[in-house]
Protein backbone atom coordinates (compact mmCIF):
# COMPACT_ATOMS: atom_id res chain seq x y z
CA UNK A 1 0.00 0.00 0.00
CA UNK A 2 1.33 3.38 -1.05
CA UNK A 3 1.52 6.13 1.57
CA UNK A 4 -0.86 8.31 -0.45
CA UNK A 5 -3.43 5.48 -0.66
CA UNK A 6 -3.55 5.47 3.12
CA UNK A 7 -5.01 9.00 3.19
CA UNK A 8 -7.39 8.73 0.22
CA UNK A 9 -11.05 7.97 0.97
CA UNK A 10 -12.20 4.45 0.17
CA UNK A 11 -12.94 3.96 -3.53
CA UNK A 12 -10.90 6.98 -4.66
CA UNK A 13 -7.99 6.19 -6.94
CA UNK A 14 -4.87 8.23 -7.53
CA UNK A 15 -4.93 10.59 -10.49
CA UNK A 16 -3.41 9.26 -13.69
CA UNK A 17 -1.52 12.38 -14.77
CA UNK A 18 -0.16 10.81 -17.94
CA UNK A 19 -3.66 9.89 -19.12
CA UNK A 20 -5.02 13.28 -18.09
CA UNK A 21 -2.32 15.03 -20.12
CA UNK A 22 -2.93 12.88 -23.19
CA UNK A 23 -6.69 13.45 -23.11
CA UNK A 24 -6.88 17.13 -22.18
CA UNK A 25 -3.70 19.10 -21.55
CA UNK A 26 -1.86 18.33 -24.76
CA UNK A 27 -4.59 19.67 -27.05
CA UNK A 28 -3.46 22.73 -29.03
CA UNK A 29 -6.31 24.84 -27.62
CA UNK A 30 -5.30 24.04 -24.03
CA UNK A 31 -1.64 24.76 -24.77
CA UNK A 32 -2.59 28.22 -26.07
CA UNK A 33 -4.72 28.91 -23.00
CA UNK A 34 -1.89 27.81 -20.68
CA UNK A 35 0.56 30.00 -22.60
CA UNK A 36 -1.83 32.94 -22.16
CA UNK A 37 -2.01 32.38 -18.39
CA UNK A 38 1.78 32.14 -18.19
CA UNK A 39 2.17 35.32 -20.25
CA UNK A 40 -0.20 37.20 -17.94
CA UNK A 41 1.82 36.07 -14.92
CA UNK A 42 5.05 37.25 -16.59
CA UNK A 43 3.51 40.66 -17.34
CA UNK A 44 2.50 41.12 -13.70
CA UNK A 45 5.89 39.88 -12.46
CA UNK A 46 7.66 42.36 -14.72
CA UNK A 47 5.54 45.15 -13.20
CA UNK A 48 6.51 43.92 -9.73
CA UNK A 49 2.94 43.03 -8.74
CA UNK A 50 3.57 39.29 -8.17
CA UNK A 51 6.52 37.07 -7.36
CA UNK A 52 7.07 33.38 -6.76
CA UNK A 53 5.42 31.87 -3.68
CA UNK A 54 3.50 35.03 -2.82
CA UNK A 55 0.10 33.29 -2.65
CA UNK A 56 -1.30 35.38 -5.49
CA UNK A 57 -2.96 34.50 -8.79
CA UNK A 58 -3.39 36.60 -11.91
CA UNK A 59 -7.08 36.82 -12.78
CA UNK A 60 -8.52 37.51 -16.23
CA UNK A 61 -11.60 39.65 -15.64
CA UNK A 62 -13.36 38.49 -18.82
CA UNK A 63 -12.18 34.85 -18.35
CA UNK A 64 -10.39 34.95 -21.73
CA UNK A 65 -6.86 33.74 -21.07
CA UNK A 66 -5.67 35.04 -24.44
CA UNK A 67 -6.71 38.62 -23.60
CA UNK A 68 -3.74 39.98 -21.64
CA UNK A 69 -4.50 43.69 -21.87
CA UNK A 70 -3.56 45.51 -18.66
CA UNK A 71 -7.20 46.49 -18.15
CA UNK A 72 -8.23 42.82 -18.20
CA UNK A 73 -5.75 41.28 -15.74
CA UNK A 74 -5.56 41.78 -12.00
CA UNK A 75 -3.78 40.24 -9.03
CA UNK A 76 -5.79 38.53 -6.29
CA UNK A 77 -5.33 35.98 -3.54
CA UNK A 78 -5.27 32.36 -4.69
CA UNK A 79 -8.08 31.43 -2.32
CA UNK A 80 -10.36 34.15 -3.69
CA UNK A 81 -9.55 33.49 -7.36
CA UNK A 82 -9.95 29.73 -7.14
CA UNK A 83 -13.26 29.93 -5.28
CA UNK A 84 -14.94 31.79 -8.14
CA UNK A 85 -17.32 29.94 -10.44
For residue range 20-58, what is the model confidence (pLDDT) as tens digits? 999 999 999 999 999 999 999 999 999 999 999 999 999
pTM: 0.77
Q: What is the 3-state secondary structure (H, E, C) of 3-43?
A: HHHHHCCCCCCCCCHHHHHHHHHCCHHHHHHHHHHHHHHHH
Q: Which domain holds residue 57?
A: 16-81
Cα(77)–Cα(82) distance, integer angstroms? 9
73 lies in some domain: yes
Q: What is the pLDDT of residue 9?
A: 73
In a domain, 62, yes or no: yes
Does residue 72 form part of some domain? yes
Q: Is residue 9 part of a domain?
A: no
Structural domain tally of the chain? 1
Q: Does 42 fall in a domain? A: yes
Q: What is the mean pLDDT of residues 3-28?
A: 82
- Domain assignment present for residue 10? The answer is no
Amino acid sequence: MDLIDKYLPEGIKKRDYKREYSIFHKKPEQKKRRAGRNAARRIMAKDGKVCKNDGKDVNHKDHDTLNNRPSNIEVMDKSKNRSMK
